[in-house]
């Protein structure tokens, strides 16, 4: 049998280095994203995943010295990576759906994938020497490896997650490792083992079956995660978006955390919007940060003197669903289709930083500050920036989490707002008013209003509200001994005390 010339083998092994580098980094990013989705606190989880993965790679590099036949060892590593890496996301999703366990399967597979990935470069380098590559230079292998890592890091958020989702991406790159193994088996067939062909063929069939049934796998896993029927589910560049329905009851989940339940969302949105609208001297221009479901905009549009509403939400997929889908748009009474509403998809901080207009009312309906990326939007720096966009007699309000489950976090939001810069009365700080309401889907939920001057009392509310009345508004301002104010740190970009308060508070109840 004629053997492939050494030059062709060299080119293939360098190309294989690029491909396996791409696959290895993709597995690492999938694991970090899964950890962030399912365990929360993205900075902590990404840091932990990267540290564990790199350590495991170090172990793998060390263990590679005990592999007597470099080429066969490399092929075995590719076959095993195709299985462990390819089924990483499916196994973790299913474990979470049926047992609630994430850490053991996630980090167990991560360590295995890291060890196998760490063995790749030393084994390729040895294989290149074994086939007699003239003037072999180890730095060439490393250069190709680093280029592959760059390609993966760029493609993951821009192409892979939006187009494939985590489940299919895991299987696709598992198939890539198996393709590398298969072509290596063919090119170096005189030096390979029959058992490798058999295991490779079985792994390829399993991965192929997984890809063929990937949509069904996702549906089955999600059906176990959610109580109701899933009517929409998509992994966007920013988050996992899921909408469920049971009869006429609709729920929105972002990264598996509930954002609203159509049975009781009116309690939340009426309480968030109308006290601030009622206390503003003028309501012509309103800014909503977050609120891509359009519910807050629906409540704003109850006020006849509203002329313009600017809604800024990061994820275009969320605003698209609640604008274009008739059933979803019905939940917000077509608010996102109203000519007075302008939707801008982008980062809230960047919008506020570059916007020059002033607004009479600013409504902040952002997700909870469970990580640093969100915590910055609850910082003194951001609130100070927002005050530059608020008219002198304007009112700002933010959702602030639960004063019961995460008491310190709630009062930290209030303290941070009070400490923000007041452009109308420099050095005076802001007037703030904390209040709360019971929302069955969330529990006791809090809000904080702020303004350059003390706002007037609520005098008039729109007609047709289902929850908020002058009486419930008065009750909303009363806190019990177990939810009342206590000493806390303000949330600053340097410290992010709010993230710790938030995670510790919820962990006391649910971990």
Asked whether residue 229 is marked as a ligand-binding residue, the answer is no
Cα 119 to Cα 57: distance, rounded to the nearest angstrom: 7
Contact 152, 26 (CB under 8 A): yes
* Residue 309 main-chain phi, psi, to 5 deg: -125, 125
What is the rounded CA–CA span in Å between residue 396 and residue 279? Answer: 10
Would you say 475 is a known binding-site residue? no
Task: For residue 293, say whether it is annotated as part of any ligand binding site.
Answer: yes
Q: 274 labelled as ligand-binding?
A: no
Read out DSSP for 209-253? HHHHTHHHHHHHHHHHH-SSEEEEEEE-SS-EEEEEEETTEEEEE
Q: How far is CA 380 from CA 288, 385, 487, 493, in A?
A: 19, 8, 17, 8
Q: Give the C-alpha separation, 511 to 504, whole Å.
A: 10
* Tokens 């790679």, located at residue: 57
Cβ proximity of 441 and 453 under 8 Å: no
Q: Nearest to residue 270, comparing CAs of 35, 489, 461?
A: 461
- Residue 228 labelled as part of a binding site: no
Q: State yes or no: 368 annotated in a binding site.
A: no
Just list the catalytic residues: 365
Strand partners, 309: 286, 341
How far is it, in rounded angstroms, from Cα 108 to Cα 95?
12
Half-sphere exposure of residue 74, counting CA atoms within 13 Å on the CB side?
27
The whole-angstrom separation of Cα 216 and Cα 226 is 15
DSSP label of 105: H
* Binding-site sequence positions: 239, 269, 293, 313, 347-348
Show binding-site residues for S-methyl-5'-thioadenosine: 239, 313, 347-348
Annotated binding site for spermidine: 269, 293
């Amino acid at each position: 049998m004629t053997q492939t010339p050494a030059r062709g083998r060299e080119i293939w092994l360098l190309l294989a280095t690029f491909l396996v580098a791409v696959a290895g980094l993709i597995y690492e990013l999938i694991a970090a994203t899964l950890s962030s989705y399912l365990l929360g606190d993205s900075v902590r989880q990404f840091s932990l995943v990267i540290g564990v993965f790199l350590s495991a790679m170090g172990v793998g590099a060390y263990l590679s010295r005990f592999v007597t036949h470099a080429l066969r060892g490399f092929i075995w590593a590719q076959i095993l990576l195709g299985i462990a890496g390819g089924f990483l996301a499916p196994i973790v999703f299913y474990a979470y759906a049926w047992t609630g366990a994430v850490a053991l399967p996630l980090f167990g597979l991560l360590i295995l994938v890291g060890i196998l990935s760490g063995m790749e470069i030393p084994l390729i380098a040895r294989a290149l020497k074994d086939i007699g590559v003239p003037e072999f230079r180890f730095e060439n292998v490393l250069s190709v490896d680093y280029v592959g890592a760059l390609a993966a890091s760029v493609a993951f958020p821009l192409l892979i997650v939006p187009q494939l989702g985590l489940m299919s991406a895991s299987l696709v790159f598992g198939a890539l490792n198996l393709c590398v193994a298969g072509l290596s088996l063919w090119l170096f067939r005189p030096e390979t083992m029959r058992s490798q062909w058999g295991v490779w063929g079985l792994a390829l069939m399993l991965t192929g079956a997984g890809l063929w049934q990937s949509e069904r796998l996702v549906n089955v896993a999600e059906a176990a995660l959610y109580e109701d029927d899933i009517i929409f589910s998509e992994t966007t560049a920013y988050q996992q978006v899921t909408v469920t329905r049971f009869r006429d009851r609709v729920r929105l989940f972002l990264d598996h955390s509930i954002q609203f339940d159509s049975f009781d969302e009116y309690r939340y949105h009426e309480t968030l919007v109308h006290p601030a609208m009622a206390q503003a001297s003028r309501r012509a221009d309103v800014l909503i940060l977050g609120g891509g479901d359009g519910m807050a905009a629906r409540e704003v549009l109850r006020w006849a003197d509203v002329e313009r509403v600017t809604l800024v939400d990061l994820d275009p997929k969320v605003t698209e669903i609640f604008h274009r889908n008739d059933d979803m748009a019905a939940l917000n009474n077509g608010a996102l289709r109203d000519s007075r509403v302008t939707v801008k998809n982008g980062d809230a901080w960047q919008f506020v930083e570059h916007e020059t207009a002033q607004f009479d009312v600013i409504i902040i309906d952002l997700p909870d500050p469970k990580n640093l990326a969100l915590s910055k939007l609850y910082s003194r720096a951001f609130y100070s920036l927002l005050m530059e966009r608020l008219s002198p007699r304007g009112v700002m309000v933010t959702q602030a989490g639960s004063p019961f489950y995460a008491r310190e976090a709630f009062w930290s939001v209030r303290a941070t707002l009070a400490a923000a810069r007041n452009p109308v009365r420099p050095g005076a700080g802001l007037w703030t008013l904390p209040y709360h309401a019971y929302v069955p889907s969330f529990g006791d939920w809090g809000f904080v209003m702020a303004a350059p001057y003390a706002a007037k009392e609520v005098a008039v509310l729109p007609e047709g509200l289902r929850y908020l009345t002058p009486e419930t508004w008065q009750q909303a301002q009363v806190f019990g001994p177990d939810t009342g104010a206590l000493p806390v740190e303000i949330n600053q970009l340097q410290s992010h005390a709010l993230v710790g308060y938030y995670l510790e508070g919820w962990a006391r109840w649910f971990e």
